[in-house]
């Protein structure tokens, strides 16, 4: 009840549950530099200092400034940039804030440094973008493996509260990436990592403090990209719900899995009954992380309760900038089975998501973009790419709503071009093949086959497996045998009359294997088939 009452951060806060709802009217005031310092051994990083951001208990119990209850004593470690004279920023010159979330390895110093290095590149292109006008903050979401390094830990402590006695905010394993409440300090387990991002956004978005602020970018790569994608989906709207007039953009680089906005998945779900559980879907949202902290999720329940249409609307109201490294065809080992119902790897999951929930650029305040970068799974390559410089630093720098068009051609699908570069509109999609094969068969794209989600073959008959296989060879063979559909995967040639009911089209980047019988042709890929037919497929 209390939780529902105080769900709008900063509007209402309740001093104590023990005294009868003693309300205080002051808003929650998170603050950079005034968080309680504690001992840590974080490495230094260029153009930055390690600071303590004071986080207010977001459920409103211990939120008032005057409340000096120790339970309100919460500090978030972060790397905060210094200006061009190596001093703390002059608040009146800051025009932009880039908040960059680390990955699985929880190394904010590397992410901060990579972002500052990218800013130096942007500065070389346009000197008005520099450390006097752009603040870079890399928050740290530590876990239990970081004890004694990122926060004090007393092995001699009598109980958990005695061992984890500092005000440092710490989360259980990777639960920070999906908005779970903190695990330490155990006296105050109420701080969703998403509420932390809300408070950072509110701090930078306060024009009383930063009168020239024009744009905030919340960026993350890999597990940090997962966090930002989930935060964009379930996160409160900056203007309407956080009271932040400054536009907030969400930059999502190469997440391993995504939170799907409704229950429909591209690949079969039969072998993964829990496919829709949060973090890959929204079922059991409340329970996420609770098995470890004993505390249920407390972030934006109202939205999740309202269902998928409301979640889709919330996500689509955000400006989401997707960065896809085209050589990153990896998959995090040990992914939840739900991830395999989205696609076999990071690349397919991204394309399946944008096919189901197409990005759109309707206005400067709601403009999604999709950028391809010739890179592997590597954050600095993406930040420093032309597209990274645009999204992180240049776009809407002066608050005039100017955004660079999508980067990274050739396009792969019809769903990945929300803000087209008009100069390249007519170009063929990657992997296009206009050839006419035996019996008038034509290329119908790259399709799934039996994998960790799909159990039934895409085409039933294996008619050939050997060194002569190619697109020309297999289509000829299938036509000779009286079939209408052909598919090649490496040395295998399959025929049938229609593709199986579990098969789905996947991006052309999943089919890049050279045909053994013709090195100039492509024959599917790992668990993927290049499909040909005389007419319709299904």
Ligand X SMILES: *[C@@H]1O[C@H](CO)[C@@H](O)[C@H](O)[C@H]1NC(C)=O
Residues lying near ligand X in the complex (CB under 6 A):
36, 68, 70, 73, 166-167, 262-264, 308, 356
Positive or negative: CA dihedral 367, 394, 77, 109: positive
**Phi and psi dihedrals of 291, rounded to 5?**
-65, -20
Rounded least distance, CB 36 to ligand X, Å: 4
Residues in CB range of 90: below 8 A, 6 or more apart: 83, 132
Rounded least distance, CB 410 to ligand X, Å: 25
Rounded least distance, CB 511 to ligand X, Å: 24
User: Is 145 or 313 the residue whose CB approaches ligand X more closely?
Assistant: 313
Rounded least distance, CB 248 to ligand X, Å: 24
Q: Which residues does residue 492 pair with via DSSP β-bridges, in sequence order?
A: 465, 489
Q: Rounded to an integer, what distance in angstroms lies between the CA atom of residue 112 and that of residue 371?
A: 22
User: Is 358 or 439 the residue whose CB approaches ligand X more closely?
Assistant: 358
User: Is 354 or 515 the residue whose CB approaches ligand X more closely?
Assistant: 354
User: Is 68 or 155 the residue whose CB approaches ligand X more closely?
Assistant: 68
Contact 420, 406 (CB under 8 A): yes
Rounded least distance, CB 152 to ligand X, Å: 8
Contact 205, 244 (CB under 8 A): yes
Rounded least distance, CB 12 to ligand X, Å: 22
Rounded least distance, CB 141 to ligand X, Å: 20
User: Is 23 or 313 the residue whose CB approaches ligand X more closely?
Assistant: 313
Q: Rounded to an integer, what distance in angstroms lies between the CA atom of residue 495 and that of residue 532?
A: 10
Q: Rounded to an integer, what distance in angstroms lies between the CA atom of residue 381 and that of residue 377?
A: 9
User: Is 354 or 529 the residue whose CB approaches ligand X more closely?
Assistant: 354
Q: Report DSSP state, residue 390.
A: I
Do the strands 369-373 and 319-325 form a parallel or antiparallel pair, or are they unpaired? parallel
User: Is 1 or 538 the residue whose CB approaches ligand X more closely?
Assistant: 538
**Phi and psi dihedrals of 381, rounded to 5?**
-65, -35
Q: Which residues does residue 135 pair with via DSSP β-bridges, in sequence order?
A: 97
* 458 closest CA partner among 475, 446, 471, 470: 446
Rounded least distance, CB 21 to ligand X, Å: 22
* 291 closest CA partner among 211, 173, 194: 173
User: Is 69 or 468 the residue whose CB approaches ligand X more closely?
Assistant: 69
Specify whether the backbone of 318 is left (phi greater than 0), alpha (psi in -120 to 50) or beta: beta
Rounded least distance, CB 531 to ligand X, Å: 22
Q: Rounded to an integer, what distance in angstroms lies between the CA atom of residue 171 and that of residue 70?
A: 19
Rounded least distance, CB 225 to ligand X, Å: 22
User: Is 167 or 384 the residue whose CB approaches ligand X more closely?
Assistant: 167
Rounded least distance, CB 338 to ligand X, Å: 15
Strand boundaries in 314-358, DSSP class E: 319-325
User: Is 357 or 372 the residue whose CB approaches ligand X more closely?
Assistant: 357
Residues in CB range of 253: below 8 A, 6 or more apart: 219, 220, 221, 222, 224, 225, 323, 325, 379, 382
Contact 157, 121 (CB under 8 A): no
Residue 504, token pair as written in the block: 């789905």
Q: Which residues does residue 31 pair with via DSSP β-bridges, in sequence order?
A: 54
How buried is residue 339: exposed, middle or buried, by Cβ count under 10 Å (0-12/13-18/19+)? buried
* 197 closest CA partner among 222, 172, 171, 173: 171
Q: Which helix (H) or strand (E) holds 86?
A: none
Q: Which helix (H) or strand (E) holds 219?
A: strand 215-221
User: Is 22 or 264 the residue whose CB approaches ligand X more closely?
Assistant: 264
User: Is 203 or 353 the residue whose CB approaches ligand X more closely?
Assistant: 353
User: Is 122 or 150 the residue whose CB approaches ligand X more closely?
Assistant: 150
3-class state of residue 77 by DSSP: strand
Rounded least distance, CB 290 to ligand X, Å: 26
Rounded least distance, CB 121 to ligand X, Å: 38
Cβ-closest residue to ligand X? 70
User: Is 151 or 494 the residue whose CB approaches ligand X more closely?
Assistant: 151
Rounded least distance, CB 71 to ligand X, Å: 8
| Chain mean position to CA 534 | 40
Q: Rounded to an integer, what distance in angstroms lies between the CA atom of residue 410 and that of residue 460?
A: 33
Q: Rounded to an integer, what distance in angstroms lies between the CA atom of residue 444 and that of residue 536?
A: 9
**Beta-carbon count within 10 A of 101 CB:** 28
């Amino acid at each position: 009840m209390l939780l529902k009452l105080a769900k709008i951060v900063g509007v209402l806060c309740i001093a104590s549950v023990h005294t009868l709802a003693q309300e205080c009217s002051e808003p929650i005031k998170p603050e950079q530099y005034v968080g309680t310092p504690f001992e840590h051994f974080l490495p230094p990083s260029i153009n930055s200092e390690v600071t303590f951001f004071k986080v207010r208990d977001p459920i409103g119990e211990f939120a008032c400034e005057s409340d000096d209850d120790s339970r309100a004593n919460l500090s978030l470690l972060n790397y905060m940039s210094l200006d061009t004279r190596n001093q703390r920023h002059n608040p009146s010159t800051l025009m932009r804030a880039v908040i960059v979330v680390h990955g699985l390895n929880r190394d904010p110093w590397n992410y901060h440094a990579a972002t500052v290095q990218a800013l130096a590149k942007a500065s070389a292109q346009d000197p008005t973008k520099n450390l006097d006008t752009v603040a870079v903050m890399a928050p740290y979401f530590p876990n239990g493996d970081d004890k004694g390094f990122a926060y004090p830990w007393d092995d001699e402590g009598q109980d958990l509260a005695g061992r984890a006695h500092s005000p440092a905010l710490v989360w259980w394993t990777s639960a920070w990436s999906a908005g779970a409440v903190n695990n330490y300090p155990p006296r105050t387990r109420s701080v969703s990592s998403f509420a932390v991002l809300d408070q950072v956004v509110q701090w930078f978005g306060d024009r009383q403090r930063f009168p020239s602020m024009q744009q905030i970018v919340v960026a993350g790569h890999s597990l940090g990209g997962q966090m930002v994608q989930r935060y964009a989906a379930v996160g409160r709207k900056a203007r309407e719900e956080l009271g932040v007039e400054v536009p907030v953009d969400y930059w999502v680089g190469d997440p391993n899995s995504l939170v799907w906005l409704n229950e429909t998945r591209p690949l079969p779900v039969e072998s993964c009954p829990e496919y829709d559980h949060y973090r890959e879907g929204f079922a059991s949202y409340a329970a996420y992380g609770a098995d470890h902290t004993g505390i249920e999720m407390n972030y934006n329940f109202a939205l999740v309760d309202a269902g998928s249409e409301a979640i889709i609307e919330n996500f689509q109201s955000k400006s989401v900038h997707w960065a896809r490294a085209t050589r990153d065809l990896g998959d995090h080992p040990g992914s939840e089975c739900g991830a395999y119902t989205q696609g076999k790897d990071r690349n397919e999951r991204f394309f399946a998501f944008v096919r189901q929930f197409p990005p759109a650029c309707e206005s400067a305040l709601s403009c999604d973009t999709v950028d391809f970068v010739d890179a592997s799974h590597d954050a600095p390559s993406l930040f420093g790419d032309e597209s990274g410089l645009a999204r992180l630093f240049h776009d809407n720098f002066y608050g005039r709503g100017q955004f660079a068009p999508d980067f990274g051609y050739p396009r792969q699908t019809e769903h990945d071009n929300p803000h087209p570069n008009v100069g390249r509109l007519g170009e063929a999609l990657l992997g296009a093949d206009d050839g006419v094969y035996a019996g008038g068969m034509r290329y119908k794209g790259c399709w799934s086959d039996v994998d960790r989600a799909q159990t039934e073959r895409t085409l039933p008959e294996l008619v050939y497996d050997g060194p002569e296989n190619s697109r020309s060879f297999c289509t000829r063979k299938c036509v000779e045998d009286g079939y209408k559909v052909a598919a090649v995967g490496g040395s295998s040639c399959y025929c049938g009359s229609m593709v199986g009911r579990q098969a789905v089209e996947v991006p052309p980047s999943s089919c890049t294997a050279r045909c053994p019988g013709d090195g100039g042709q492509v024959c599917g890929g790992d668990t993927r088939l290049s499909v040909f037919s005389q007419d319709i497929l299904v």
